[in-house]
Amino acid sequence: MKNNDSLKLKRLWVLVLLPIGIIITGAARSSAAFCKFYTDSVYPFMSGTLNYLFSMTEISVAQIIIISFAVFIAFYTLVTILSLIFRPNRLKKLLYYAINLVCIFSIIFFFFSLTCGINYYRPSFAEEEGIITEKSTSAELAGLFEDLTGRLNEAKAQFTGNPRSFRSNAELARDYMQTLAEKYPSLSGDYGAPKAVNFFGWMSFTKITGFFFPFTYEANVNDTAPAVSLPATMCHELVHLRGHMREDEANYIAYLACTQSGDPEFVYSGLLLAYSHTSSALYAEDPQAYRDISEKLDDAVKKDIADKNEYWKKYDGVVAEISDTVNDAYLKANDRKDGVKSYGKMVDLLLAEYRQKLTAPANTEEQNKETNNEG
């Protein structure tokens, strides 16, 4: 019995992984040079190697691991409860149960820190690519919303067919991200296509459209979500795979990949994503301007948005609220101070692009004048 107890206590060495993970996170938080070394050298090697291995199958290994882990924890907890009821040494068994859970947490936290946690403290995509965001006025926000409304109407007119299969769009999402990386070097990397997951139809109850799993470096997408959302979601999860963890920037980069692809289905999906975030921001800022401009939206687009909202409304409930709370805590724990509100910052990046669009014709005209004067 003593030998058995000694054997169980020997596993406590695993707990050293917890402070190591904390040290790694602290180094990332305080040292830009450490983050740069990791993002430029370590992360591309790890993510590229493991993603290549796990991309050999179209099945989501992440889904298998998560389900297996949940079953294991549930079974282990049940066995522990039964032991507490029917066997002696209850305090000792409860102590072992708690120690084992802490050991498991230590392992997970250590590998999370090593595989992707550092990326939360890397320079933002805007900083790396020289995108300048500024405070905006209500008029600018309304102008952006009107511009997106017009573009969305045009995109719907171009996208008249049925959505492609999940697998076809997944392969295209990978290709479009690689094309975008030619313009933005921080997105470089040759990675596999996103994988379909749904946890036997239960994933929608959490209102999660996709997730990046850092232990297998897989981009996973809820294939039961509305089809119009899938292309943008695929690109979003691929952005995380490339080491950009901020949700707001992942949305914006996904929008860029979709709208610059020239593919009607992806363009429409990307614009719907941008429209959704901008409409929420404008409604909070100027409800009347939102109502006036949104009336200009084509009926076909309104139907797609209504259908999408109706789909998610079916899953309102306790599970969705818990999922939102957990996601909020996760974001804040990784130094995203605004939690789920950080998703709204996508609008700042859209406004930066919109301002550049407004000034581009003027700049071109000035350059032409200068050229004529030189001639």
Q: Is the pLDDT of residue 174 over 60?
A: yes
SS3 at position 74: helix
53 contacts: CB under 8 Å, gap ≥ 6: none
Q: Are 279 and 344 in contact (CB under 8 A)?
A: no
- For residue 329, the 8-state DSSP code is H
Q: Is the pLDDT of residue 96 over 60?
A: yes
- Nearest one of 248, 245, 233, 30 to 116, comparing CA atoms: 245
Please give the mean pLDDT across all residues of the chain.
86
pTM score: 0.85
* Phi, psi angles (nearest 5°) of residue 213: -105, 105
pLDDT in tens, 33-69: 999 999 999 999 999 999 999 999 999 999 999 999 9
Separation between Cα atoms, residue 248 and residue 344, nearest integer Å: 7
Look at residue 195 and tell me whether its pLDDT is greater than 50: yes
pLDDT digits (tens, 9 = 90+) for 204-245: 888 889 999 999 999 999 999 999 999 999 999 999 999 999
For residue 288, the cross-strand partners are none
Which region among 1-15, 38-52, 97-111 has the lowest average model confidence (pLDDT)? Answer: 1-15
Return the minimum-mean-pLDDT range out of 169-183, 196-210, 283-297, 341-355. 341-355
Query: Among residues 167, 179, 210, 177, which one has the least CA distance to residue 58?
Result: 167
**pLDDT digit string (tens) for 238-280?**
999 999 998 989 999 999 999 999 999 999 999 999 999 999 9
CA 53 to chain centre: 22
Nearest alpha carbon to residue 239 among 187, 196, 274: 187
Residue 83 pLDDT grade (very low, low, confident, very high; cuts 50, 70, 90):
confident
Whole-number pLDDT of residue 344: 58
What are the φ/ψ torsions at residue 210 (nearest 5 degrees)? Answer: 180, 165
Mean pLDDT of 94-114: 92
